[in-house]
A and B are shown apart, each in its own frame.
Chain A
């Protein structure tokens, strides 16, 4: 995990670490949470089934 205390930018504001910004973004998490299994499980699996040669 990234440390919570980010560095300070030129305006003197604290930079929010990437991991915290990711975890604070519900919609981005939703997108990757649906895309990941859809790609790795569903689409990959369906493509393999679709590529099974038909019996003659």
Chain B
């Protein structure tokens, strides 16, 4: 390895940290948190407007806030943070240098300029086209240009990730196969390439159309290709937050996967099939066949669901195995009771795992069925589902790993530890409430995007059940709770970076955040050698299956009542 690359050795994990990787991770993570703060505030405004008793914003501002909320949290927060994860999982976990750091910085600048440009376009009020920006609604040209610049920057970052893992192999900075967490990040990077290509295929002509250089964009073609970008971007999240679950379990408890091969096989199922879920959004379009819809959302997608079920067994199983090795062997659940619930990194990870599985996973598979989808298509059930996956699942997992990134990468102590301890519970409960009540309101027919759930200016009266008002009110209450949880996260992270005590070697030894052997567990290939009794995990997984089956068939019952056949 060339001599001019600057490395430090992490005193806790023993991993070599390339200075450029270190700086890039910090920059991407900080900008991500800023966009989370901005997008989260817009989200609160949206929820307070959808709360019928409050109905805060007028229609014009509502659609502006909804567009900004979607772009800032569904794209910018998530992808900036994912780039930080890609650099961590490649350069740091492989003890390698990051390749072409100047290109990586160029990518960062393009992403930042693009995100700012899109935000400016939205705030100017001429681009309230919502996250989906369906044509023929037309935004200002710099809205599309901002998204394109952001995507080009992200593609550069993904290229740097691939270059880094290939160079690490060539320079023999690691032996054998990629560690599982890096393999999960590779999965996310592959999905990102398809996602960005889809975005480019449709957003470049749409940008030209906004400049009147192209006369017409077919709305169905737009919708089809756009969802290859819009939904797949959320599949990058799934692969990334599953990797973070494995990483957190390894760092905090020394947990290794039950079977590295099976977990890698589950990621392979993601690589092959997860992006196909994009077809959910076109299930009522008459222009595409049932064969296309059913293949993409059922037969093929269920193989990706199998991947998630494997991770859903493997992650808690790895935690149970690690805890039982530490002596927490009494009964079925001592390992879980004695888990570090006061550590926000762990509680965020485990809440993310449970909420993603029970709320996001079950609802996603159920609504992906072409027939059941008819009950809830384009209702507020859909945002309910994706708040369970992206907020309770991905965002909570990202928040959790931040409590490790700050001491290990920024080398600062977490400040306000009492607040930090409660933050994941507050945010997790808030996100769970948002998801549940939006799904509940959607099941009884509340529309997805509309500013006024009562349709008060419609020529025909719409009979909205009182339950829907209650559910949208509860959605607002839980949104406030999630916002407070999110605000605490931002304050704790920013204050820790700015004012946290510097963690030198002595501080790391006195107050370690990583368990002994955690660095080796996260950065090496290999599975748990001993397989102790995993009865607790079996009980949890059985509970998930039973819930899944009941919910699935209850929805068939709903469908039979909505659309009687006799």
Contact = CB atoms under 8 A, between A and B. Distances in A.
Contacts of A24: 177-178
A49 B221 CA distance: 7
Contacts of B187: 33
Residue of A23, A24, A32 with most chain B CB atoms under a 10 A cut-off: A23
A4 B232 CA distance: 31
A40 B276 contact: yes
Contacts of A1: 259, 261-262, 265
B323 to A, nearest CB: 26
Contacts of B178: 24, 26
A5 B481 CA distance: 52
Interface string B267-289: 01001110110110010000111
Nearest to B186: A26
A24 B197 CA distance: 24
A44 interface: yes
A38 B275 CA distance: 9
B225 interface: yes
A35 to B, nearest CB: 9
Contacts, number: 93
B309 interface: no
B324 interface: no
B305 to A, nearest CB: 16
Interface in A1-56: 1-2, 4, 19-20, 22-24, 26-27, 29-30, 32-34, 36-38, 40-42, 44-46, 48-49, 52
B10 interface: no
B194 interface: yes
B38 interface: no
Given A29-B190, A41-B278, A52-B287, A36 B264 contact: no
> Chain B interface mostly helix, strand, loop or mixed?
helix
Contacts of A2: 261
B232 A37 contact: yes
Nearest to A16: B177
A38 B220 contact: no
Given A36-B273, A38-B194, A44 B261 contact: no
Residue of B165, B187, B221, B261 with most chain A CB atoms under a 10 A cut-off: B261
Interface string B211-229: 0000000101100110010
Contacts of A40: 276, 295-296, 300
A20 B162 CA distance: 19
Contacts of B177: 20, 23-24
B193 interface: yes
Interface in B291-344: 292, 295-296, 300
B183 interface: yes
A3 to B, nearest CB: 8
Contacts of B261: 1-2, 4, 19-20
Contacts of A42: 198, 201, 224-225, 228
B183 A23 contact: yes
A23 B268 contact: yes
A48 B232 contact: no
A37 B192 CA distance: 12
Given A4-B261, A33-B190, A48 B292 contact: yes
Interface string B60-73: 00000000000000
B166 interface: yes
Nearest to A3: B261
Contact of A41 (B183, B191, B262, B276): B276
B196 to A, nearest CB: 10
Interface in B481-523: none
Residue of A4, A33, A44 with most chain B CB atoms under a 10 A cut-off: A33
B303 to A, nearest CB: 11
Nearest to A34: B194
A19 B260 CA distance: 13
A36 B278 CA distance: 13
A30 B292 contact: no
Contacts of A33: 187, 190-191, 193-194, 271-272
A49 B288 contact: yes
Nearest to B285: A49
B300 to A, nearest CB: 7
B273 A41 contact: no
Given A41-B278, A49-B218, A26 B165 contact: yes
A37 B225 contact: no
Nearest to B176: A24
A30 B193 contact: yes
Contacts of B276: 37, 40-41
A29 B268 CA distance: 8
A25 to B, nearest CB: 10
A9 to B, nearest CB: 19
7 contacts: A23-B268, A29-B186, A33-B190, A36-B272, A41-B278, A45-B279, A49-B287
Interface of A: 1-2, 4, 19-20, 22-24, 26-27, 29-30, 32-34, 36-38, 40-42, 44-46, 48-49, 52
Interface of B: 162, 165-166, 177-178, 183, 186-187, 189-191, 193-194, 197-198, 201, 218, 220-221, 224-225, 228, 232, 259, 261-262, 264-265, 268, 271-273, 275-276, 278-279, 282, 287-289, 292, 295-296, 300
The 5 A-B residue pairs with the shortest CB-CB distance in the complex, in nearest-first order = A33-B190, A37-B275, A33-B271, A45-B224, A1-B261
